[in-house]
């Protein structure tokens, strides 16, 4: 059994991570660290876990755990690792954006590997430190990886995507409280979302001559969880050729599937799946992608990476049913 620790246990991603780890057959939660909730039962904060665990939050860290998950706000993982040290055998999976970019991936002798299994599964298997991808970055990269791998991103990409309210975290703000979100819709961070950096990095890793624009419009939806994204680009081949490219690229993927039928978000919410759909409109290829922002976009993918690092089947603990109805 892997002894697991979690740093920053009160947020949405931590709550999902705890739920998954409690039901994982090869892990035991050693501690969940939260300075603001130390001494409180976990199910007092993550109320869906009542009856599932009697573990309490703690302000004490065990530096000898096998795996450490960092569920901290962006910028805080760096500060935490500067001030806290773990055994040489401890594997670390960071869910922030602190180590995703190549310019940041070396930190105090730790080399973080970008943890997108559909991109570089073998590197993840041999890694000790993982930078878990962002939620939008996951949904959008999975839509275009096959094209980049075949050097077919030769024109501007246009992406429109909507995410649920949990993507903003648990802290209240003017755009997350109920009276603002309910029956409402808006865009934010148009063309300069922070996940564009890792998307560009991955595209250039697969297609070194890529030099066109990625025009990304993120939107806030009035639902709790999930991401639904539409991406289009000029594509001279047939729809049959596009499907062949995507099926070949994802033939060994554990959680990413190409559907012949139109897809919708309820098919993936509460799962670690990414569903894709392809359609040809004139000279444009439309790629639709959808994921659960808290699972494949965060905690589920973190468990998937842990499984790969530990030599487990990557699907262990992640056979989840969608909240389809």
* pLDDT for residue 273: 98
For the entire predicted model, the pTM comes to 0.95
Evaluate whether residue 316 is within a structural domain: no
Evaluate whether residue 210 is within a structural domain: yes
Evaluate whether residue 320 is within a structural domain: no
Q: Are residues 279 and 305 in the same domain?
A: no
- Which H, E and C letters describe the chain, residue by residue? CEEEEEECCCCHHHHHHHHHHHCCCCEEEEEEECCCCCCCEHHHHCHHHCCCCCCECECCCCCCCCEEEECCCCCHHHHHHHHCCCCCCCEEEECCCCCCCHHHCEECCEEEEECCHHHHHHHHHCCCEEECCCHHHHHHHHHHHHHHHCCCCCCCEEEEEEECHHHHCCCCCCCCCHHHHCCCCEECCCCCCCCHHHHHHHHHHHCCCCCCCEEEEEEECCCCCCEEEEEEEECCCCHHHHHHHHHHHCCCCCCEEEECCCCCHHHCCCCCCEEEEEEEECCEEEEEEEECCCCCCCHHHHHHHHHHHHCCCCCCCCCCCCCCC
Residue 71 annotated among the catalytic residues of the structure:
no
Q: Are residues 7 and 45 in the same domain?
A: yes
Pick the catalytic residue from 7, 72, 127, 135: 135
What domain range is 192 assigned to? Answer: 135-291
Q: Are residues 223 and 282 in the same domain?
A: yes
Q: Are residues 146 and 281 in the same domain?
A: yes
Q: Are residues 249 and 126 in the same domain?
A: no
Q: Are residues 148 and 281 in the same domain?
A: yes
Q: Are residues 127 and 140 in the same domain?
A: no
Q: What is the CATH number of the domain that holds 32?
A: 3.40.50.720
Evaluate whether residue 221 is within a structural domain: yes
Q: What is the CATH number of the domain that holds 195?
A: 3.30.360.10
Q: Are residues 55 and 30 in the same domain?
A: yes
Q: What is the pLDDT along the chain (325 residues), one digit of tens a residue?
A: 999 999 998 888 999 999 999 999 999 999 999 988 999 999 999 999 999 999 999 999 999 999 999 999 888 999 999 999 999 999 999 999 999 999 999 999 999 999 999 999 999 999 999 999 999 999 999 999 999 999 999 999 999 999 987 765 555 556 666 767 778 888 877 888 788 999 999 999 999 999 999 999 999 899 889 999 999 999 999 999 999 999 999 999 999 999 999 999 999 999 999 999 999 999 999 999 999 999 999 999 999 999 999 999 999 999 999 988 7
Q: CA nearest 266: which of 226, 304, 237?
A: 226
Q: Structural domain tally of the chain? A: 2
Evaluate whether residue 103 is within a structural domain: yes
Distance of alpha carbon 102 from alpha carbon 138, whole angstroms = 17
Q: Are residues 119 and 146 in the same domain?
A: no
């Amino acid at each position: 059994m892997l002894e697991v620790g979690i740093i920053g246990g009160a947020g949405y991603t931590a709550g999902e991570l705890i739920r998954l780890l409690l039901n994982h057959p090869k892990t035991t939660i050693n501690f969940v660290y939260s300075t603001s909730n130390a001494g409180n039962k976990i199910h007092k904060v993550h109320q869906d876990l009542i009856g599932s665990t009697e573990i309490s939050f703690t302000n004490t860290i065990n530096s000898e755990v096998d795996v450490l998950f960092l569920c901290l706000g962006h910028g805080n993982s760096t500060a935490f690792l500067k001030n806290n040290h773990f055994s040489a055998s401890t594997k670390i999976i960071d869910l922030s954006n602190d180590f995703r970019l190549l310019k940041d991936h070396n930190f105090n002798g730790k080399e973080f590997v970008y943890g997108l299994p559909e991109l570089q599964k073998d590197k993840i298997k041999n890694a000790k430190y993982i930078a878990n991808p962002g939620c939008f970055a996951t949904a959008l990269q999975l839509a275009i990886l096959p094209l980049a791998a075949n050097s077919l991103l030769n024109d501007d990409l246009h992406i429109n995507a909507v995410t649920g309210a949990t993507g903003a975290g648990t802290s209240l703000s003017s755009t997350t409280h109920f009276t603002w979100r309910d029956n409402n819709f808006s865009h934010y961070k148009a063309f300069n979302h922070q996940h564009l950096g890792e998307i560009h990095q991955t595209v250039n890793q697969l297609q070194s001559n890529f030099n066109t624009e990625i025009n990304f419009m993120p939107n806030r939806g009035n639902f709790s969880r999930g991401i639904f994204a539409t991406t289009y680009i000029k594509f001279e081949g047939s729809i049959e050729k596009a499907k062949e490219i995507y099926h070949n690229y994802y033939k060994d993927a554990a959680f990413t599937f190409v559907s012949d039928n139109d897809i919708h978000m309820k098919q993936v919410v509460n799962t670690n799946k990414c569903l894709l759909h392809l359609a040809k409109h004139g000279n444009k290829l439309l790629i639709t992608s959808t994921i659960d922002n808290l699972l494949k976009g965060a905690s589920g993918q973190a468990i998937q990476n842990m499984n790969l690092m530990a030599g487990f089947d990557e699907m262990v603990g992640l056979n989840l049913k969608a909240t389809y109805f």
